[in-house]
Amino acid sequence: MTAEYKVHGAVAVITLNNPPVNGLGLATRTAIVEGLRQAQHDAAVKSIVITGAGKAFSGGADIKEFNSPKALAEPTLHTVIAAVENSDKPVIAAIHTVCMGGGLELALGCHYRVVSPGAQIALPEVKLGILPGAGGTQRLPRVVGLEMALNMIVSGTPVASEKLVKTKLFDELVEGDLMTGALNFAERVAATRPLPKVRDLKVDYPNYEAFLQFSRNTVKAMAGPFPAPLKCVEAVAASITKKFDDGIAFERALFVDLVQTTESKALRHAFFGERAASKLPDVPADTPMRSIKSVAVIGAGTMGGGIAMNFLNAGIPVTILEMKQEALDKGLATIRKNYENTMKKGKLTQEKFDQRLSLITGTMSYEEIGQADLVIEAVFEDMGVKETVFKKLDEVMKPGAILASNTSTLDVDQIANFTKRPQDVIGTHFFSPANVMKLLEIVRGKATAKDVLATTLALSKKIKKTGVVSGVCDGFIGNRMIEQYSRQAGFLLEQGCLPEQVDKAVEKFGFAMGPFRMGDLAGNDIGWYIRKRRYVEKPEVTYSKTADLLCELGRFGQKTSAGWYDYKPGDRKAYPSTVVNDMIIKHSADLGIERKKISDAEIVERLVYALVNEAANILDEGIATRASDIDMVYLTGYGFPLFRGGPMFYADTVGLPNVVMAMEKYAKGPHGEAWQVAPLLARLAAEGKTFN
Ligand code: 3HC
Ligand code: NAI
């Protein structure tokens, strides 16, 4: 059942019951209309309350139904809202917890709205690349005013119900039991006629043209490649410039256009991708969790400090361990400095600053961390050092503690085997800066216990990370893919490109940063170190030597004020470097390569398809659980453009046969050995299927 119907005295109560968030799918919409019909026909019923069961009034339209026949099937949300609005008996929305999107639009169609404190009120459609399509852009301005409605609709940000009680959106704030308050209210208004309708109100805003023009300019500058925000402004503008029904028709037309855009599909893919990533097929949702009330971090360097901050921000106490007092003091001072900077920017209050710092303790003694529920190791990337640390942890940590490693390249199974409890060992691969980057790769070892995985996934949500599970392999999901991308970037330099052209092409495609600017930021010596290992372990894999030559010049990137680009002291701007460009051109000549012009389109194809091909292998090997997990890794950790939905989603939109065809073409060119089409990609393309 998706909505329950009950009668309390003279009040009919329709309770939406479509867990988890009472999404207004076809079955729920049908049940609401049926409930209204029953109430109309029951002479004893004088008024009707609509509310939601569980943890929401309603989270809005059912996003899973978009672009499917169910979305357009009658009764549509428009039909439901019309049925509510045209009801002869007063309809009261009793709102609590979450009232969003179509849920708020339904409430706006009701004659009255009562609400609990603390309910999250929003029209968040813009975050899914669309706009409110069931009257929200026309009705909300009529109750909260043009300016507030525009802000809510363009940003999609929830507003707490108590902040809206003074507006016409709500008729009453119910402090006690919501249903008791709603039933009392319903009885009070049972005889009121005519029934108030939001559509009959007028939007009043003097000199609205100037305000709307200002909004268009501001929103245009902020919207980037997304079409929805500006369309939101146009739709809200119609609430004041057009008659109500014309405004509704205008909003509808914009909604229908937006819902079909790739940008909106990409955003919806990311919404569901983020939630799917927290689930593993063989780890049931009811797997018992281990309780994490305290955390220890080993190593207070670049990563250890940032990792600790995540837990402090979530109110979880952290003990950070170092070998030397000096290193410990330096690490703690960096954490303090980071918080001070945030406070200076006005993003942290003194109270929160004090609270966070009160939760951190430094130590040099393992005895002091033994009772922590979770320990994360972030010491030097060296198997010998990891062995010493994990053997020690095995000795001191209490039974049941989770032992995690932040290693970015080492074998988590080998690390687990340094202990007598490999089931408690897991990889938690944070990205730098660890207190900022959203991505957390959770590395599942062969022996990692299911409750350890479930706990770590839940914890990632608590510390506001996107947790994605990866199997054990060299580079896990993200870095294993980036290696193929960097290889292509190197070949492009040999064949005719300069760093700036490659970076600009990729940044125009939408990446936050091209490969060479990214290398300069992360440190080119890291890739150099990895390649040196590869030359010994996998001599058959070819690389351009250009990056090695760069490192031999000591040009490690921003940290040495010289990398692929030149840098000026105190300035992160990348200036094209004559030294580097000459070095690149000379290297081509030394190899006897005739440099040629390579188009931006080819640059993008080669870099992105290199990612896609490796990702297909990762998926095929079961290192990633699903294609959308790979997309989440790239969207949250590698600056892949959100409006393109991630590498796998992008490949799907290009069409896998087209991707394969391009790869086969590159396979015939120089370094064609890098273009062996992954078996899964070839198979899906041949079968006309997609990754997602
Ligand atoms: N449709 C379908 N499923 C939805 C949904 C929706 N509108 N909103 C949430 N869900 C699902 C999630 O996919 C998730 O499913 P899962 O358990 O199978 O993974 C489950 O509900 C719980 O979601 P969260 O993990 O996000 O739970 P939270 O409690 O953290 O947050 C929420 C709840 C605030 C409602 C959050 O889910 C959210 O922001 N949802 C999106 C709301 C939204 O964008 N509404 C507008 C929809 S578009 C619309 O209404 C069009 C209309 O204008 C015509
Ligand atoms: P870092 O060199 O900045 O910090 C390491 C810290 O560990 C130092 O402060 C050092 O004194 C301390 N340390 C070393 N041995 C120790 C021991 N036995 N006991 C206690 N403390 C010890 O290194 P960074 O960059 O923080 O890297 C740490 C780990 O995180 C490595 O495994 C690395 O591969 C991984 N990582 C690094 C990323 C980065 O961008 N720097 C990104 C993701 C993972």
Angle at which helix 476-495 crosses helix 578-591, to 10 degrees, equals 80
What contacts 441, CB < 8 A, 6 or more positions away? 427, 428, 429, 468, 469, 470, 476, 477, 478, 633, 637
In the prediction, which pLDDT does 67 show? 81
Token digits of residue 231:
């369309």
DSSP type of residue 558: G
| Residue of 57, 63, 106 to test ligand 1 pocket, by largest number of atoms within 8 Å of CB | 63
Nearest Cα residue to atom 16 of ligand 1: 275
Residue 59 beta carbon below 6 angstroms from any ligand 1 atom: yes
Distance CA 322, CA 65 (A): 52
What atom of ligand 1 comes closest to residue 63's alpha carbon? 1
Q: What pLDDT, in 10s, does the model give residues 284-316?
A: 999 999 999 999 999 999 999 999 999 999 999
Q: What pLDDT, in 10s, does the model give residues 564-622?
A: 999 998 888 999 999 999 999 999 999 999 999 999 999 999 999 999 999 999 999 99
Q: Taking residues 379-400, what's their average pLDDT?
A: 97
In the prediction, which pLDDT does 569 show? 86
Give the number of whichever ligand sits closest to the CA of residue 479: 2
> Is 340 marked active-site?
no
Amino acid at 458: A
Mean of the per-residue pLDDT values of the chain: 97
Residue 132 beta carbon below 6 angstroms from any ligand 1 atom: yes
Token digits of residue 640:
């892949």
Whole-number Cα distances in Å, 465 to 124, 313, 595, 649: 21, 12, 44, 21
Residue 389 beta carbon below 6 angstroms from any ligand 2 atom: yes
Residue 300 beta carbon below 6 angstroms from any ligand 2 atom: yes
In the prediction, which pLDDT does 571 show? 87
Domains defined for the chain, CATH in brackets: 3-259 (3.90.226.10), 295-470 (3.40.50.720), 478-686 (1.10.1040.50)
Give the number of whichever ligand sits closest to the CA of residue 131: 1
Residue 312 beta carbon below 6 angstroms from any ligand 2 atom: no
What contacts 240, CB < 8 A, 6 or more positions away? 141, 146, 203, 205, 208
DSSP type of residue 671: T
Residue 121 beta carbon below 6 angstroms from any ligand 1 atom: no
Give the number of whichever ligand sits closest to the CA of residue 66: 1
CA of 61 to the centre of ligand 1 (A): 9
Residue 406 beta carbon below 6 angstroms from any ligand 2 atom: yes
Residue 380 beta carbon below 6 angstroms from any ligand 2 atom: yes
Give the number of whichever ligand sits closest to the CA of residue 440: 2
Q: Is 625 a residue whose pLDDT tops 80?
A: yes
Q: What pLDDT, in 10s, does the model give residues 407-445?
A: 999 999 999 999 999 999 999 999 999 999 999 999 999
Distance CA 49, CA 183 (A): 7
CA of 382 to the centre of ligand 2 (A): 9
Distance CA 176, CA 186 (A): 16
> How many other C-beta atoms are found inside a 10 Å radius of the C-beta of residue 255?
21
Distance CA 108, CA 87 (A): 14
Nearest Cα residue to atom 15 of ligand 2: 379
Q: What pLDDT, in 10s, does the model give residues 269-284?
A: 999 999 999 999 999 9
> Is 105 marked active-site?
yes
Q: Taking residues 387-405, what's their average pLDDT?
A: 98
Nearest Cα residue to atom 22 of ligand 1: 20
Give the number of whichever ligand sits closest to the CA of residue 385: 2
pLDDT band at 155 (very low <50, low <70, confident <90, very high): very high
Which of 85, 105, 441, 483 is the catalytic position?
105
Of 615, 605, 647, the closest CA to residue 481 belongs to 615
In the prediction, which pLDDT does 66 show? 86
Residue 405 beta carbon below 6 angstroms from any ligand 2 atom: no
Residue 81 beta carbon below 6 angstroms from any ligand 2 atom: no
CA of 302 to the centre of ligand 2 (A): 7
Biggest CA-to-CA distance, the chain: 93
What atom of ligand 1 comes closest to residue 136's alpha carbon? 53
Q: What pLDDT, in 10s, does the model give residues 95-154?
A: 999 999 999 999 999 999 999 999 999 999 999 999 999 999 999 999 999 999 999 999
In the prediction, which pLDDT does 230 show? 98
Q: Is 1 a residue whose pLDDT tops 90?
A: no
Angle at which helix 476-495 crosses helix 515-522, to 10 degrees, equals 120
As beta bridge partners, residue 451 has none
Of 236, 303, 255, 216, the closest CA to residue 76 belongs to 255
Nearest Cα residue to atom 42 of ligand 1: 59
CA of 306 to the centre of ligand 2 (A): 11
In the prediction, which pLDDT does 513 show? 95
DSSP type of residue 323: S
pLDDT band at 11 (very low <50, low <70, confident <90, very high): very high
What atom of ligand 1 comes closest to residue 62's alpha carbon? 1
Distance CA 446, CA 454 (A): 15
Residue 378 beta carbon below 6 angstroms from any ligand 2 atom: yes
In the prediction, which pLDDT does 238 show? 98
Which of 125, 251, 483, 500 is the catalytic position?
125
Nearest Cα residue to atom 38 of ligand 1: 59
Residue 64 beta carbon below 6 angstroms from any ligand 1 atom: yes
What atom of ligand 2 comes closest to residue 304's alpha carbon? 26
CA of 301 to the centre of ligand 2 (A): 5
Residue 303 beta carbon below 6 angstroms from any ligand 2 atom: yes
Q: Is 323 a residue whose pLDDT tops 80?
A: yes
Q: What pLDDT, in 10s, does the model give residues 51-107?
A: 999 999 999 999 989 888 999 899 999 999 999 999 999 999 999 999 999 999 999
Q: Is 164 a residue whose pLDDT tops 80?
A: yes
